[in-house]
Amino acid sequence: MLDTELKSKINQLWDKFWSGGISNPLQAIEQMSYLLFMKRLEDEDIAREQDSQLSGEKYGSIFEGNEECKWSKWSNLPADDILDHVRDEVFPFLRKLGGEDSLYATYMTDAVFTIPTPSLLIEAVKIIDGMHIKEQNRDTKGDIYEYLLSELKTAGKNGQFRTPRHIIKMMVELVNPQIGQAVCDPACGTAGFLVSAYEHILKNNTSSDLIKTDEQGNEYNFKSDRLSEKQWEILRNSTLWGFDIDQTMTRISLMNLMMHGITNPNIKQINTLSTRYDEANHYDIVLANPPFKGSIDASEISGELTISTKKTEILFLELMYNILSSGGKCAVIVPDGVLFGNSKAHKKIRTKLLEECRLDAVISMPSGVFKPYAGVSTGILVFTKGEPTKKVWFYDMTSDGYSLDDKRTFIDGKGDITDIVDKFNSRGEHDLEDRKAKCFFVPIDEIKENDYDLSISKYKEIEYEEIVYEKPEVIKGKILDLENKIIATLGELDI
């Protein structure tokens, strides 16, 4: 949703970090996060001070006694002083914000300021100040951070990669989180699902006349004027929950939520598959794209996980079932192998999803969705815990609105997505028996007969068109006629 000039400034920031010696995208994101965080602290401090003046309430600045740690103070220091000041004064100040047990302290624990030169720091400060000037007419802090994250093009060692934002948005719309529901991502990465769930709730509680649309048709300006103070408190403090095993991802998730206005995110660094995590029947909504191809030491696997396997994609599915409350909904991305794998573990997890849950949907996605950093074929499972499945809605997604090659060129940004959401929400109103269509129902008995196979190819009927070819002698005659015409034409040209 950013305009061209803001995107250009973010690209400049990436280029400066790259040429300045920080070429690892995750490290660059971390360092950019710290700078954006420093800028945001002073901006919000000023806003709170102004609000207190209007209300007549007393406000104590977080910079009281540490004026030299304000962005506006140190960002104008000369090159000889600025780097040492930020590393030795501003960073320690950030670690102490709110006390030892505060979010700030947690976020900054073990954080290292690795910008190597004063020139890179000064250039970065100039660009971020330029972003701030551009964003005055609209709250774009969250969009800026999302655009930064969209530049993460490298996959993790265990199959971790960032889920495209439009796919996340579609999955959120399918489970439709509401105010008061607890939303969890047990492998949250950069917290994209949690941010999208937050924005979904904001949008659904904003009067339609306040919502604006940009030039690409994206909606924004979710003021949530229909939420009471108590509902706001619930949304900000007890709605969004994320966990990740990676410390860097945890920090990035925290920053992403803070940039979107969640001042006290519930983000923790923990392996949710391990014995240290136990939150059974706790969440109303689970949204995730857990790591594929990963494995875990058998001795570390939680005793609550009963399926005997080291495959993380299967373990995460059982975990999601466990942490959902009765009636809770889940939307999760899985590799195609989960849908048709014939191991005991594969069959057991599919049986659980079909017999102990209502498997609402299996959406087959084209393999190019995760390019350029992964070409794996994937699907989306949507299920509700607590009642057995009677029939499963299948959808054959062929386009997500971008080209399916490594370039992922923008087409319309939607593809089948709008149709998927509309047809999913109205699926109970139609029979959907035509197996040649984009979507259709398959009864549970038929799925059981097929060994609980959930691959769409097992049930979709392909309509072949018969091609009628001309007889060989007719084709031969046409070729000879064409040759004669070419010879005659060349003769007329006297060649």
Taking alpha carbons only, the member of 204, 259, 271 closest to residue 231 is 204
Give buried/exposed letters for 156-182 (b at 16+ CB in 10 A, else e). bebbbbbbbbbbbbbbbbbbbbebebb
CATH tag for 4-140 (out of 3.40.50.880, 1.20.120.1690, 1.25.40.10, 1.20.1260.30): 1.20.1260.30
Encoded tokens for 247? 């410390």
Encoded tokens for 407? 């370039």
pLDDT of residue 153: 52
pLDDT of residue 310: 87
8 A C-beta contact, residue 59 and residue 49: yes
Mean pLDDT of the chain: 85
pLDDT of residue 136: 45
What CATH fold (topology level) applies to the domain 165-458?
Answer: Rossmann fold (3.40.50)
- Give the count of beta carbons closer than 10 Å to the beta carbon of residue 91: 17
In the chain, CATH 3.40.50.150 covers: 165-458
pLDDT of residue 112: 82
pLDDT of residue 138: 46
pLDDT of residue 374: 62
Residue type at position 292: F
Q: Provide the CB-side half-sphere exposure for 337 (13 A, CA).
A: 11
Rounded to an integer, what distance in angstroms lies between the CA atom of residue 276 and that of residue 49?
Answer: 42
Give buried/exposed letters for 120-141 (b at 16+ CB in 10 A, else e). bbbbbbebbebbbeebeebebb
In the chain, CATH 1.20.1260.30 covers: 4-140
Give me the residues of the chain with pLDDT under 70, please: 1-3, 97-108, 132-142, 151-162, 215-216, 293-295, 372-375, 464-466, 492-495
Rounded to an integer, what distance in angstroms lies between the CA atom of residue 382 and that of residue 423?
Answer: 14
Asked whether the bond before 335 is cis by omega within 30 degrees of 0, the reply is no
pLDDT of residue 202: 93
